[in-house]
Amino acid sequence: MESPGEAPVDETHVGKKKKPPARYWQELQEEERKDENKVKNDAEQSKEAQQQEDDETQKAKKRKQDQSPSDGEKVKPGKSDPFPGPAPIPEDRLQKFKRKDKLKKPHRKQHKLRDIIARSEDASEMAQKQAARFDLLLPEEAGFLEGDEDEDTCMISQEDIAEAVDITSGAKYFNLKLSQFGPYRLDYSKTGRHLLLGGRRGHVACIDWTSKQLMCEINVMESVNDVKWLHSEAMYAVAQKKWLYIYDSNGIELHCIRKFNDVLRMQFLPYHFLLATASATSFLQYLDVSVGKEVAAICTKTGRLDVMCQNPHNAIIHLGHANGTVTLWSPNQKEALVKMLCHQGGVRSVAVDKTGTYMVTSGMDKKLKVYDIRAFKPLKSYFLPAGAACLSLSQKGLLSAATGDVVQVYKDVCSMPVTKPYMAHRLRGTVWGLHFCPFEDVLGVGHGDGFTSMLVPGAGEPNFDGLDANPYRSAKQRQEWEVKALMEKIQPDLISLDPTELAQVDQATWEQRHQDRVEVLGFDPLAKEKFVPKYKKKGRSSAGAIERRKKQVAHEEQRDVIRKSVEDKVKMEKERKERERKKAALSTQKSALDRFKK
């Protein structure tokens, strides 16, 4: 970086030597020196970064100086760049974009591999730095809510918040009074623009909730267990009394899927185009919505499945059971990947955060527990007097828990012990569905008396990625995105606990791989063939002769082993003798000091 103060001042036609104007940083530097102790940490960090950069560029600099000594003369003594090198990047921001640890350097003999690894690591480091720098340019900032002194944030009412914020944001707090077809489940689309409501008594409505525009409203004349958007806002699935139905955004029934019966809960895996359903008959089924095929049907044998959530990090489905266990499922395995005993009573609700690190569960024992699901270890346990019926985690990690007709929102549940909620709100009926709206500071609550959209500052991710989920996309952009997304649909067999497994080196031993091969083929291709003596003419293939020949071949391998071991033994013996001989020769040699011996 070059600073404008560095420019050489032309002095020929000005008699008096001009002093360059003081720059803002020169004063700053002096101030900094004064309170150096305060900012020492920061300075050290930046220094370290600079030093690294320096080391890297030292050679280049040296070369430059050698080439053009005139450059060196131009720089005036006593003046130096106040901000040498590129701007330092804060460590935590670099950490955010870190993909993996550095590889161990291979042996020097493997110079090609060494070179490849070094180069790829350089590239990924540069990408990491660039991404971290780009973070500064993100346009939006996250929301927050701070109380005044001795004011609890949980005492602030929704009306006050809606009044305090701007009109468009204030309008995001609203109630829909729908007492007729009561309690409602809901789902937000992936972009957060569209809301889907499903009333227990058959009322299904989809709404563009920001503009409050009703897209369609139907009554399916059957009880509705759950509703879910599919990959875009053009289609949604409704789990009805008997079967699973798919409707389009105009409310036209597209499919009735009779293979999926008595569905209670659904989850949609957007990158796999899989609709996972949990049924009252304890079946977990996966439907590929891009081709309309059932991918897997797993009988969990654990009774009625009405607690379900997905891990957005690795597309594993979590099911909660009446005996207090939470089980993890993938479509590739008929048994649960993991079974965790989480609660004394039944599990009422499960939620997983978007990084796939924490799982929050609530049970009949009125406890709220936080688990680290990478290590399957309990982290925190809270006691809620009323117990939480529904849980939902937001993009920024806020936890909302519904206890009866009260919705409580907690902050930082996973990392530090929490004593009181961040926000609370009482509704008219018992809560039935709970969902944070992606990319908005909004919590949607479906309850017995309709739907409430709450403002929860700091809940949503402020900066969306336009290529992934763009709330402002046009119809054309949606079409393009749909094609792209379908093209890179991840196959269901790639679902595993560790989503980065695919990029790791397969270090299975030969024995392991051979065993797998034998299992797949059903026989051992490398097994030794059984010796069958050739048929010989002229009476030489009599039973006795055949037996003799067989005997010759039998134990051949064993003989080989024995021969080898005997050879080894002989060799060792020889070596030992040689050693002894040398030793003896050494001992018999007379040294000059022997004459002092008695």
Partner 1 sequence: MKVKVIARNPDDYVRETKLDIQRVPRNYDPSLHPFEVSREYTRALNATKLERVFAKPFVASLDGHRDGVNCMAKHAKSLSTLLSGSCDGEVKVWNLSKHECVRTFQAHEGFVRGMVVRFCGTSFFTVGDDKTIKQWKMESPGYGEEEEPINTILGKTVYTGLDHHQNDPVFATCGQQVDIWDEQRSSPIRSFTWGVDSFSSVHFNPVETELLASCASDRSIVLYDMRESTPLKKVIMTMRSNTLSWNPMEAYYFTCANEDYNLYTYDMRYLAKPIMVHMDHVSAVLDVDYAPTGKEFVSASFDKTIRIFAKDGGHSREVYHTKRMQHVICIKWSADNKYILSGSDEMNIRLWKANAAEKLGVLAPREREAANYSQKLKEKFQHHPQIRRIARHRHLPKTIYHQTKELRIMKEARRRKERNVRKHSKPGSVPVVSEKEKHVVTVVK
Q: Which is nearer to partner 1, 358 or 382 (CB)?
A: 358
Among 67, 474, 558, 589, binds partner 1 (CB under 8 A): 474
Of 46-105, binders to partner 1 (CB under 8 A) are: 96-97, 99
CA distance 155 to 493: 48
Among 226, 262, 288, 441, binds partner 1 (CB under 8 A): 441
Q: Return all residues near 427 (Cβ < 8 A) that are at least 6 apart.
A: 405, 406, 407, 445, 447, 449, 452
Q: What are phi and psi of 518, to 5 degrees?
A: -60, -40
Among 25, 83, 134, 531, binds partner 1 (CB under 8 A): 134
List the structure tokens of 587: 């001992």
- Is 20 among the residues that bind partner 1 (CB under 8 A)? no
Kindly state the smallest distance separating residue 314's Cβ from partner 1, in Å: 8
Stretch that binds partner 1, among 168-176, 334-342, 516-524, 584-592 (CB under 8 A): 168-176
- Is 461 among the residues that bind partner 1 (CB under 8 A)? yes
Among 35, 73, 465, 511, binds partner 1 (CB under 8 A): 465
List the structure tokens of 407: 């919705």
Kindly state the smallest distance separating residue 153's Cβ from partner 1, in Å: 8
Kindly state the smallest distance separating residue 169's Cβ from partner 1, in Å: 5
- Is 478 among the residues that bind partner 1 (CB under 8 A)? no
Kindly state the smallest distance separating residue 187's Cβ from partner 1, in Å: 19
Among 92, 148, 511, 519, binds partner 1 (CB under 8 A): 148
Q: Which residue has the tokens 């690795």?
A: 314
The 8-class DSSP code of residue 528 comes to P
Among 5, 82, 85, 143, binds partner 1 (CB under 8 A): 143
Count of residues in the chain: 598
Of 496-555, binders to partner 1 (CB under 8 A) are: 499-503
CA-based nearest residue to 379, from 422, 410, 342, 337:
342
Q: What are phi and psi of 436, to 5 degrees?
A: -80, 140
- Is 166 among the residues that bind partner 1 (CB under 8 A)? yes
Kindly state the smallest distance separating residue 87's Cβ from partner 1, in Å: 18
Q: Which is nearer to partner 1, 440 or 449 (CB)?
A: 440
Q: Which residue has the tokens 């067999």?
A: 493
Kindly state the smallest distance separating residue 138's Cβ from partner 1, in Å: 6
Among 358, 440, 447, 448, binds partner 1 (CB under 8 A): 440
Size of residue set near partner 1 by CB under 8 A: 66
- Is 457 among the residues that bind partner 1 (CB under 8 A)? yes
CA distance 235 to 253: 10
Q: How far apart are the first and last CA of the chain?
A: 85
- Is 154 among the residues that bind partner 1 (CB under 8 A)? no
Q: What are phi and psi of 568, to 5 degrees?
A: -60, -45
Q: What are phi and psi of 130, to 5 degrees?
A: -65, -45
Stretch that binds partner 1, among 80-88, 166-174, 180-188, 366-374 (CB under 8 A): 166-174
Burial 451-472 (b: 16+ CB within 10 A, else e): bbbbbbbbbbbbebeeeebbbe
Dihedral sign computed on CA atoms, order 452, 237, 229, 304? positive
- CA distances (Å), origin 548, targets 376, 543, 554, 556, 595: 63, 9, 10, 14, 71
CA distance 349 to 87: 47
Q: Which is nearer to partner 1, 272 or 367 (CB)?
A: 272
Kindly state the smallest distance separating residue 165's Cβ from partner 1, in Å: 5
Q: Which residue has the tokens 């420019």?
A: 7
Chain centroid offset of residue 488 CA: 18
Residue type, 109: K
- CA distances (Å), origin 275, targets 266, 320, 332, 412, 481: 7, 18, 15, 30, 19
Kindly state the smallest distance separating residue 135's Cβ from partner 1, in Å: 8
- Is 150 among the residues that bind partner 1 (CB under 8 A)? no
CA-based nearest residue to 227, from 209, 202, 261:
202
Kindly state the smallest distance separating residue 57's Cβ from partner 1, in Å: 26
Of 336-375, binders to partner 1 (CB under 8 A) are: 354-355
* Positions that interact with partner 1 (CB under 8 A): 96-97, 99, 131, 134-135, 138-148, 151, 156, 160-161, 164-166, 168-169, 172, 271, 312-315, 354-355, 439-441, 455, 457, 460-468, 470-474, 476-477, 487-491, 494, 499-503
